[in-house]
Amino acid sequence: MAKITIIIPTYNRPHCLKRILNYYDSFIELPKEAKMKDDFEFVVADSSSDENKKRNQEVISALKNFKVLRFNDYPEDINPWYKFADAVNYAKSEFCLICSDDDFVTPEGIIKSAAFLEKNFDFSVCQGKYLIFSVDPQNRDKNKIRLGAGYICESLTLSDAKDRVSYYLADYQIPTFSAVHRTALLKMILTETAKFTNDNRFGELLPSLLAVTYSKMKCLDIPYAFLETSAHSTGVTTCTIRSFIKDGSYDEKYANFKNCLAMHLTKNSKLNTEEANETIDKAMSEYLAKNYPDGIRYFLINKIKNVLNFLPVEMLQRIKTISAKINFWRLKNKYLDSAEYHKDFNKIKDYLITESALGGRR
Distance of CA 68 to the CA centre of its chain: 21
CATH of 4-288+333-356, one of 3.40.50.11740, 3.40.50.180, 3.90.550.10, 3.40.50.10440: 3.90.550.10
* Burial class, 164, CB count within 10 angstroms (exposed 0-12 / middle 13-18 / buried 19+): buried
Which own/partner pairs from 286-291 qualify as long-range (CB within 8 Å, at least 24 positions apart)? 286/169, 286/170, 286/171, 287/169, 287/170, 287/171, 287/172, 288/241, 290/170, 290/171, 290/327, 291/172, 291/241, 291/327, 291/328
User: Is there a contact between 65 and 84 (Cβ–Cβ < 8 Å)?
Assistant: no
DSSP code string of 169-238 = HHT--S-STTSEEEHHHHHHHHHHHHHH--SHHHHHHHHHHHHHHHSEEEEEEEEEEEEE--TT-S-S--
pLDDT, greater one: 28 or 329: 28
CB atoms within 10 A of CB 336: 20
pLDDT band per the 50, 70, 90 thresholds, residue 29: low
Average pLDDT, the chain: 81
Q: What is the pLDDT of residues 170-184, one digit of tens each?
A: 999 888 989 999 999
User: Is there a contact between 10 and 17 (Cβ–Cβ < 8 Å)?
Assistant: yes
Residue 198 has pLDDT above 60, yes or no: yes
CA–CA separation, 71 and 316 (whole Å): 42
Residue 263 has pLDDT above 90, yes or no: yes
User: Is there a contact between 128 and 206 (Cβ–Cβ < 8 Å)?
Assistant: no
pLDDT band per the 50, 70, 90 thresholds, residue 152: low
Among 21-30, 99-108, 276-285, which stretch is predicted with the lowest mean pLDDT? 21-30
Residue type for 185, please? L
Say what percent of the chain tops pLDDT 90.
51
Q: What is the pLDDT of residues 83-118, one digit of tens each?
A: 999 999 999 899 999 999 989 999 989 999 999 999
- The three-state secondary structure class of 153 is coil
Q: Where are the chain's structural domains?
A: 4-288+333-356
Say what percent of the chain tops pLDDT 70.
73
Residue range 198-220: mean pLDDT, rounded: 94
Among 72-86, 219-233, 241-255, which stretch is predicted with the lowest mean pLDDT? 219-233
Q: What is the pLDDT of residues 214-224, one digit of tens each?
A: 999 999 988 89
DSSP classification of residue 104: E
How many separate helices (H) and strands (E) can be counted in the chain?
Answer: 16, 10
Q: What is the pLDDT of residue 58?
A: 93
Residue range 125-136: mean pLDDT, rounded: 84
Residue range 281-285: mean pLDDT, rounded: 95
